[in-house]
Chains A and B, each alone.
Chain A
């Protein structure tokens, strides 16, 4: 399909791990990104992964990439209430000028 797909909502307890999943559209996409949007703010780049990598770890964040299935996931370890936000998956295709975004996953972290 043409859309980057994400589940719309995820709720976790503080201290648990969160896993946000994404299916992207173009198997030739070179870079895949995770952006975070807090209420009233713009999008902030959290992390990215290059398409020749399977995994990337950055402190509490782990990104897994399955190119065969065009599946990307973001794992947040020891989730905190400050992690509550909307998380967007985006792909950088080989054609076109901009990023192709999903609709975003709203993460709610409860105490």
Chain B
């Protein structure tokens, strides 16, 4: 138990559906992240939020839309996805985003997404 929870754990959706992934952290952290983990590829950073403000968006297609209503919650809204978007989506949090300092990221268990 890392203090970061994600729901749902598994999601199957069609290409025309709209769904949302939810992440919640109970650690009092100020930064939250979305990563995509595909088979045989490195973890890909998608979005970074610091104090509810998006600070990084790594060329992610607009069919992925993040939302951070407060520092404890992070959502990833999905619409008109493609089969190649099937992956494990991991949420993480850290105390802050300061570069060059120890800043452990705590990961949730992930949502396994399958797009049919």
* A contacts, CB < 8 Å to B: 3-4, 8, 30-31, 33, 35, 40-45, 48, 50, 88, 92-104
Minimum distance in angstroms from B18 CB to a CB of chain A: 25
Contact assessment for A96 and B99 in the assembled complex, using a CB-CB cutoff below 8 Å: yes
- Size category of the B interface is 20 to 34
Q: Residue B108 at the A interface, CB < 8 A?
A: yes
Question: In chain B, what residue has the closest Cβ to A96?
Answer: B99
Minimum distance in angstroms from B7 CB to a CB of chain A: 13
Cross-chain contact of B2 among A44, A96, A97 (Cβ < 8 A): A44
Complex contacts, B109 vs chain A, CB 8 Å: 40-42
Question: In chain B, what residue has the closest Cβ to A30?
Answer: B100
Given A40-B109, A42-B109, A97-B97, also A88-B43 (CB < 8 A): yes
Contact assessment for A42 and B110 in the assembled complex, using a CB-CB cutoff below 8 Å: yes
Among A96, A97, A99, A102, find the residue whose CB has the most chain B CB atoms closer than 10 A: A97
Given A98-B33, A101-B42, also A42-B99 (CB < 8 A): no
Cross-chain contact of B99 among A45, A88, A94, A102 (Cβ < 8 A): A94
Given A97-B48, A101-B42, also A45-B100 (CB < 8 A): no
